[in-house]
Structure 1
Amino acid sequence: MTRHRGIAAVVMAVVGVIALILALHIIFVLLDANRGNAIVSTIGTWSWHLAAWFRGLFQTGSGNWNTVLDYGLAALAYLFVGRLAASLVERV
């Protein structure tokens, strides 16, 4: 039982890091962070790949709102699916 809880914790930690990357990207876009900065650029590249299925989902006419909705929904989806996967691992 303890081993399965440990695996579930790892799943949630990974999902938490993914959600953090997506949230940081949203913050960087909203604050108009320097895209030439290595951290901003790296987070932008990672989030671009992580939110692949969600990019372009919303067309509000505002780039900032599109980013908040697309990447925010991606973060929520990762958290939801990660929690679901963790609970399934705990039950096994």
Structure 2
Amino acid sequence: MSRRYGGNPAATIILIIADVTAVILILWIAFFLLDANTANDLVSWVHHAANWLSGWSRDMFNVKSDDWRTILNYGLPAVVYLMIGHAVAGRVNRS
């Protein structure tokens, strides 16, 4: 990843943070859709982290299907974090 931004360590760190954030949100979507056991420590941690990361967008969409509501309410922030993180990393690299 560091080669993508000319070895700029700040850009690499920003990319890693954006990617990890998106992975946590996407992992919660997968756990929810696959009906993972929320009593499991890993599933519980991912759920709490995803709730915190998506606090600004949760319940933005009120669709009747629980699956679609989860996909939209956690998927949107994942996409936003990726877009912003990659845009900021590109900008940092140009500085």
Report the TM-score when normalising by structure 1: 0.93
Deviation at 1:36, TM superposition (A): 0.2
- Structure 1 partner of 2:79: 76
Count matched residues: 91
**Divergent runs of 4+, >6 A:** none
1:36-47 → structure 2 map (5 Å cutoff): 36-47=39-50
RMSD (CA atoms): 1.4
Letter in 2 for 1:24: L
Counterpart check, 1:22 vs 2:29: no
1:1-92 → structure 2 map (5 Å cutoff): 5-92=8-95
Deviation at 1:82, TM superposition (A): 0.2
Contiguous gaps of at least 5 residues in structure 2: none
Secondary structure of 1:35 counterpart? coil
1:41-85 deviations in whole A, cap 9, x for unaligned?
000000000001110011111111101011111100000000111
Secondary structure of 1:55 counterpart? coil
Distance 1:23 1:2 in 2: 28
